[in-house]
A and B are shown apart, each in its own frame.
Chain A
Amino acid sequence: DSGVTQTPKHLITATGQRVTLRCSPRSGDLSVYWYQQSLDQGLQFLIQYYNGEERAKGNILERFSAQQFPDLHSELNLSSLELGDSALYFCASSVGSGGRPTEAFFGQGTRLTVV
């Protein structure tokens, strides 16, 4: 068990809909990362938050947004869903402060299926 909790584990929704994925980081970790894993794109970095603030942005679509709350949990919001958004979405957390990079710990992922 990595200590990172993601909910829900599975999500099936229709095109055009909006969903929210939730992530609780490991105790003490201030950084949260979101990744998308699909067969054609591999594992893509979406966005990072550090202690409530956006730290880095990757290949995140404008239809997607995220935030990190004061209790450090994070939510990834996906809207106007398309079939191509079907993927496994991972959350990871790390200590994530400046200085030498430390490892990230991954949750089990949320499998999103858009029909």
Chain B
Amino acid sequence: GDSVTQMEGPVTLSEEAFLTINCTYTATGYPSLFWYVQYPGEGLQLLLKATKADDKGSNKGFEATYRKETTSFHLEKGSVQVSDSAVYFCAPGTSYGKLTFGQGTILTVHP
């Protein structure tokens, strides 16, 4: 079945530091790839997506590139803010929209 391996957390950074959260996946067919973010006490929100190989998804300064050859979709941000503190989930989506989530990576950003 589908599976996702995410970088172990928690990740603790200082404000303005560079962020990378690694994600590799296995999925049947040709998935779309998503990063979701969960702020404390809230549901999951779509952060960015990429629907085909070599596509780059971006939003709010975050980026991730769909690497089909390495089955990876690593999340990056050049300069994190305290408000980016949250849990980040990588998820391939297959036909009919089912998402398989990684275990989530907790990010804490200190001033």
Residues of A within 8 A of B31 (CB): 101
Number of interface residues of A (CB under 8 A): 30
Shortest B54–chain A CB gap in Å is 15
Give Cα distance in the complex from A51 to B93, angstroms.
19
Give Cα distance in the complex from A72 to B6, angstroms.
33
Shortest B51–chain A CB gap in Å is 6
Residues of A within 8 A of B102 (CB): 42
Cβ-Cβ contact count across A and B, 8 Å cutoff = 73
The answer to the question of B97 belonging to the interface, with a C-beta cut-off of 8 Å to chain A, is yes
Residues of A within 8 A of B34 (CB): 103
Residues of A within 8 A of B101 (CB): 35, 42-43, 45
Chain B, interface SS category: mixed
A108 touches B42 (CB 8 A): yes
Interface residues of A in 32-83 (CB under 8 A from B): 33, 35, 42-43, 45, 48, 50, 55-56
A48 touches B98 (CB 8 A): yes
Q: A43-B89, A43-B101, A43-B104 are in contact. Are A48 and B96 (CB under 8 A)?
A: yes
B95 touches A99 (CB 8 A): yes
Which residues of B line the A interface, CB within 8 A?
Answer: 31-32, 34, 36, 42-46, 49, 51, 89, 93-104
Which residues of A line the B interface, CB within 8 A?
Answer: 2, 4, 31, 33, 35, 42-43, 45, 48, 50, 55-56, 90, 92, 94-109
